[in-house]
């Protein structure tokens, strides 16, 4: 029909004219973008209301946090029409058990915000510019998989299997995770260069066993309430999240347990829990510990009987065979060999803790029984972190707080009583491994690395690292030390020849990918999680929605790579999907935990709370029945003096007894002339390491700043909130200053995990602490010393 319109207004005249001019001539080619489907049965256009009803139903599906905080919280997704419209969390009552509450923190409450961010990686990409430049082009999954498979093959043929390396990554911290799957793949394909240690606990996990023969030295947190005094030494569970330990800590506080926090920074834990805050200069903890031992010894407050019975190396009378009595801990404290008595006054000068305070703390700790000196993992991430760990274990032993309820053996403090296996990795045909922190060394000089560099399993590495899988991890740049140096190493395409990164955002690490793959999030895959040691539950993380765009869980494409390598069947071992693997995990778990629910029950409820009648007390057996239960040390005793360390013959940096070692880039380093401030990188409640940094709400929780004391700020003319540059020879960050009494004078703190964002001048404008940290490892563990830095701060 010819319908003509008479114009009543002129407002749209231009368009109407245009229509008159062109109307009939305009035909669209193809039909529109083609993203929509029109149902063939057309709707009733005459009805003014819709004819197709939209379902209103909302389903609640349990899932779980799986980034690497110490918790794994219940996250319930409220789903409507395949869209998560809201989240809720554990509604379990507090009575259900002090170590099974799994309520989401500020991060969990904003998982939607983080994980449905419009900046998600959406499609596979290949690098088109120079490596690290961040220039990528979209490719198909087929091309990505083909490239990965052929490079994996090529590098193996050219440099040998040990040139292939799967990097440390904790973005998916659950039973099924990309990095172990990639290890599984390479183990089946001839091998890879393995690593040991973590970025969290290298020093403590290596040093603690020299005292006790194991790192499992913690009592479970449901025991906190049995203490009379709790000393949180560099321990900040409120922000870091250690399993579910905050709730038991609160219970202890309510029960009247005195809590003292030793920390250079007035942490949220100290604010919320502590009766007293003792600030100590970073890296000087051993001077304070030595002085505490001095007080105990000189005032005869230590538990000599306990020491005589359970320990060796405390005094001249209890030394291993053939070792001079002057090498004992007591002799060192009293200065019998070096002529320095480790008095509180001596320690005050080093630590900036008043002698009075040290004396008081020593007396209180020695005379209040039981007392728990609980170490966090922050202090040990330092140049001589091994000493800090061992120092505390000795204090715990001197006060007889080992193996008893309400006490704490100190050290690494692992205390897990539940066991949930992950996807198994077959034995690696290449037996060598490196300390994870030295992976950049293994890129540059791998084939020169030997036991001296911490190489284990082989005498010498056969080659440098040539290929890296970095899956759901940001330690390729951001969480490793010295970003500038790391970037330089990675940018050199003649060193590492191929890098695969899978992630959910364009992180600083992702920028260095050759093939960049879009990963999925916790809502988009089935998995099983459990918190770090301190939490007695397991969660079924249900897949709630499909991964958006072309995102995929790592398993999906690794299977295809395996197919191209001809090992798909071995790789999957009959487990086609994540759900197949979670079934396997449940079956394995039920072999050890007989009351663990069936797969169907677990998947539906989303949570299993383990029930225990009483707390787990580390070394209870060893203390109650030492004859039948020796410690797992060479002597069978608590080794205050370690013959194994002695035999290493490096007493300056690896002493046989724990000692204060004046640290490079510590408060006594002459470098202080140039860089007068110490700098640490605290954990912040707004991120899990680097996850959530791009959630802008985090900036409202805690802005990314460099914390400094008003005394240090004043002399530099720095006011709260002004832009400053914090720098040393390794790099510069430019962020606002937070001028606060919550950090002690002489110390600055930049919360770890901000995304390294260098501008054209190479200045990091986001404030990644690792712009300032060093590749130099700690002596024994070869661990990351990320809290050992000297810097200067100036107005920008």
Partner 1 sequence: MKKGIQIETDCNQCGQRIVSCPTDALSHNDFNFVNKDNKIYVINKGGESVINNATEINVKDILKTRLWFYDLLGKSFYLEPEISRLKKVCELKIFEQFINNEDFKNEGIGILRDFFDNISKISNEEFNSLRKEYTRLFIGPGHLPAPPWGSVYLSKERIIFDENTLEVRKFYKKWGVNTKNSNKEPDDHIGFELEFISILIDKSLSELDKNNINGFKNILTAQIDFLKSHILIWIDVFSDKLSENTEYSLFKGLALFLPEYLKMDIGLLEDLLENLENLQ
Q: Which residues bind to ligand SF4, rule: CB under 6 A?
A: 65, 67, 69, 71-73, 104-105, 107-108, 241, 688
CB nearer partner 1, residue 53 or residue 715: 53
| For helices 178-188 and 554-564, angle between their N-to-C axes, nearest 10 degrees | 10
SS3 for 617-660, per residue? CCCHHHHHCCCCCCCCCCCCCEECCCHHHHCCCCCCCCCCCCCC
Please state the closest distance from residue 698 (CB atom) to ligand SF4, in A: 12
Q: b/e map of 318-342 (b: 16 or more CB within 10 Å)?
A: bbbeebeeebbbbbbbbebeeeeeb
Name which of 546, 540, 575 is nearest 558 in CA terms: 575
Please state the closest distance from residue 468 (CB atom) to partner 1, in A: 18
CB nearer ligand SF4, residue 318 or residue 689: 689
Please state the closest distance from residue 503 (CB atom) to partner 1, in A: 9
**Candidates 131-139, 442-450, 471-479, 567-575; binding stretch for partner 1 (CB under 8 A):** 131-139
72 binds, among partner 1, ligand SF4, none (CB under 5 to 8 A by kind): ligand SF4
CB nearer partner 1, residue 5 or residue 715: 5
33 lies in the site for partner 1, by CB under 8 A:
yes
| For helices 344-351 and 355-367, angle between their N-to-C axes, nearest 10 degrees | 120
CB nearer partner 1, residue 33 or residue 717: 33
Q: Phi-psi category of 352—alpha, beta or left, where left has phi over 0 and alpha has psi -120 to 50?
A: left
Two tokens, residue 675: 């860089």
Please state the closest distance from residue 85 (CB atom) to partner 1, in A: 5
CB nearer ligand SF4, residue 72 or residue 583: 72
Contact by Cβ (8 Å): 225, 463: no
48 binds, among partner 1, ligand SF4, none (CB under 5 to 8 A by kind): partner 1
38 lies in the site for partner 1, by CB under 8 A:
yes
In degrees and rounded to multiples of 5, residue 296 shows phi and psi of -60, -45
- The separation between the first and the last C-alpha atoms of the chain, rounded to the nearest angstrom, is 72
The neighbour count for residue 427, using CB atoms within 10 Å, is 8
Site for partner 1 in 341-370 (CB under 8 A): none
Residue 613 three-state SS: coil
Please state the closest distance from residue 710 (CB atom) to ligand SF4, in A: 32
CA angle 100, 106, 108 (to 5 degrees): 65
| Binder among 510, 539, 617, 718 for partner 1 (CB under 8 A) | 510
Contact by Cβ (8 Å): 678, 707: no
281 lies in the site for partner 1, by CB under 8 A:
no
Site for partner 1 in 75-94 (CB under 8 A): 80-85
| Binder among 17, 326, 460, 604 for partner 1 (CB under 8 A) | 17
**Candidates 51-59, 299-307, 310-318, 473-481; binding stretch for partner 1 (CB under 8 A):** 51-59
CB nearer ligand SF4, residue 111 or residue 498: 111
760 lies in the site for partner 1, by CB under 8 A:
no
The neighbour count for residue 717, using CB atoms within 10 Å, is 9
CB nearer ligand SF4, residue 688 or residue 750: 688
Residue with tokens 């007068």: 676
CB nearer partner 1, residue 27 or residue 715: 27
CB nearer partner 1, residue 14 or residue 715: 14
CA angle 148, 198, 224 (to 5 degrees): 140
Two tokens, residue 725: 């540059």
CB nearer partner 1, residue 52 or residue 715: 52
For β-strands 731-739 and 677-680, DSSP reports them as unpaired
601 lies in the site for partner 1, by CB under 8 A:
no
| Binder among 354, 462, 548, 634 for partner 1 (CB under 8 A) | 548
759 lies in the site for partner 1, by CB under 8 A:
no
**Candidates 45-53, 408-416, 726-734, 741-749; binding stretch for partner 1 (CB under 8 A):** 45-53
Element (H, E) at 734: strand 731-739
CB nearer partner 1, residue 7 or residue 715: 7
Name which of 433, 540, 428 is nearest 168 in CA terms: 433
Please state the closest distance from residue 108 (CB atom) to ligand SF4, in A: 2
Please state the closest distance from residue 58 (CB atom) to ligand SF4, in A: 21
| CB-based burial label for 486 (10 Å; 0-12, 13-18, 19+) | buried
Binding mask 111-130 for partner 1 (x = CB under 8 A): -xx--xxxxxxxx-x-----
136 binds, among ligand SF4, partner 1, none (CB under 5 to 8 A by kind): partner 1
Q: Which residues contact 22 (CB under 8 A, 6 or more apart)?
A: none
């Amino acid at each position: 029909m010819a319908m003509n319109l008479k114009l009543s207004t002129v407002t749209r005249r231009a368009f109407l004219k245009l229509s008159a001019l062109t109307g009939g001539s305009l035909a669209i080619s193809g039909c529109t973008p083609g993203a929509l489907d029109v149902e063939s049965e057309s709707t009733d256009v005459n009805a003014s209301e819709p004819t197709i009803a939209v379902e209103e139903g909302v389903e609640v599906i349990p899932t779980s946090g799986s980034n690497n905080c110490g918790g794994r919280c219940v996250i319930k997704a409220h789903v409507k029409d395949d869209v998560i419209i809201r989240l809720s969390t554990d509604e379990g009552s507090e009575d259900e058990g002090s170590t099974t509450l799994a309520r989401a923190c500020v991060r969990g409450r904003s998982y939607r915000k983080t994980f449905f961010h419009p900046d998600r990686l959406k499609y596979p990409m290949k690098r088109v510019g120079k490596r690290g430049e961040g220039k990528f082009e979209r490719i198909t999954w087929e091309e990505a998989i083909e490239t990965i498979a052929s490079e994996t093959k090529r590098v193996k043929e050219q440099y040998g299997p040990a040139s292939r390396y799967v990097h440390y990554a904790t973005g998916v911290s659950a039973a099924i995770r990309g990095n172990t799957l990639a290890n599984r793949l390479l183990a089946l394909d001839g091998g890879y260069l393995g690593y040991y240690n973590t970025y969290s606990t290298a020093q403590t996990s290596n040093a603690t066993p020299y005292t006790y023969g194991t790192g499992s030295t913690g009592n479970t947190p449901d025991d906190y309430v049995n203490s009379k005094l709790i000393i949180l030494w560099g321990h900040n569970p409120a922000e870091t999240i250690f399993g579910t330990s905050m709730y038991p800590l609160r219970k202890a506080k309510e029960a009247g347990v005195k809590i003292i926090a030793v920390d250079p920074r007035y942490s949220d834990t100290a604010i919320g829990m502590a009766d007293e805050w003792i600030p100590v200069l970073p890296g000087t903890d051993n001077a304070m510990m030595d002085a505490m031992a001095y007080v105990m010894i000189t005032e005869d407050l230590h538990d000599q009987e306990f020491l005589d019975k359970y320990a060796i190396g405390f005094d001249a009378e209890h030394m291993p065979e053939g070792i001079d009595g002057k090498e004992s801990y007591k002799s060192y404290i009293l200065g019998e060999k070096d002529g320095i008595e480790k008095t509180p006054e001596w320690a005050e000068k080093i630590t900036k803790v008043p002698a009075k305070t040290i004396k008081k703390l020593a007396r209180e700790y020695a005379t209040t029984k039981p007392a728990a000196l609980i170490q966090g993992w922050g202090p040990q991430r330092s140049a001589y972190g091994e000493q800090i760990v061992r120092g505390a274990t000795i204090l715990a032993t001197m006060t007889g707080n080992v193996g008893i309820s309400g006490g704490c053996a100190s050290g690494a403090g692992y205390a897990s009583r539940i066991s949930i296996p992950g996807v198994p990795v077959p034995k690696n045909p290449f037996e060598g491994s490196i300390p994870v922190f030295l992976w950049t060394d293994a890129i540059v000089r791998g084939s020169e690395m030997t036991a001296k560099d911490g190489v284990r399993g082989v005498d010498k590495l056969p080659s440098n690292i040539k290929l890296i899988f970095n899956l759901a991890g940001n330690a390729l740049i951001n969480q490793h030390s010295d970003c500038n140096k790391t970037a330089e190493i990675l940018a050199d395409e003649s060193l590492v020849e191929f890098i695969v990164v899978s992630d959910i955002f364009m992180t600083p690490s992702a920028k260095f990918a050759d093939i960049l793959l879009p990963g999925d999030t916790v809502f988009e895959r089935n998995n099983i999680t459990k918190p770090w040691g301190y939490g007695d539950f397991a969660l079924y993380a249900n897949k709630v929605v499909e991964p958006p765009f072309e995102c995929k869980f790592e398993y999906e494409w690794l299977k295809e790579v395996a197919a191209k390598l001809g090992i798909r069947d071995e790789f999957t071992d009959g487990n086609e999907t994540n759900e197949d693997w979670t079934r396997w995990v449940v079956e394995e778990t039920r072999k050890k935990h007989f009351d663990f629910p069936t797969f169907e029950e677990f998947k539906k409820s989303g949570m299993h709370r383990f029930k225990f009648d009483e707390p787990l007390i580390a070394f209870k057996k060893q203390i109650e029945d030492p004859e039948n239960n020796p410690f797992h040390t060479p002597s069978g005793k608590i080794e205050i003096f370690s013959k194994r360390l002695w035999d290493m013959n490096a007493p300056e940096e690896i002493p046989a007894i724990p000692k204060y070692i004046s640290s490079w880039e510590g408060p006594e380093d002459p470098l202080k002339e140039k860089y007068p401030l110490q700098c640490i990188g605290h954990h912040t409640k707004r991120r899990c390491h680097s996850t959530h940094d791009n959630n802008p709400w985090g900036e409202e929780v805690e802005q990314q700043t460099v914390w400094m004391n008003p005394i240090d700020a004043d002399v530099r003319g720095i006011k709260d909130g002004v832009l400053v540059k914090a720098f040393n020879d390794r790099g510069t960050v430019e962020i606002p200053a937070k001028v606060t009494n919550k950090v002690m004078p002489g110390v600055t703190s930049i919360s770890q995990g901000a995304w390294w964002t260098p501008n054209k001048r190479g200045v990091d404008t986001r404030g990644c602490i690792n712009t300032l940290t060093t590749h130099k490892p700690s002596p024994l563990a070869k661990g990351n010393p990320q809290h050992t830095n000297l810097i200067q701060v100036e107005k920008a």
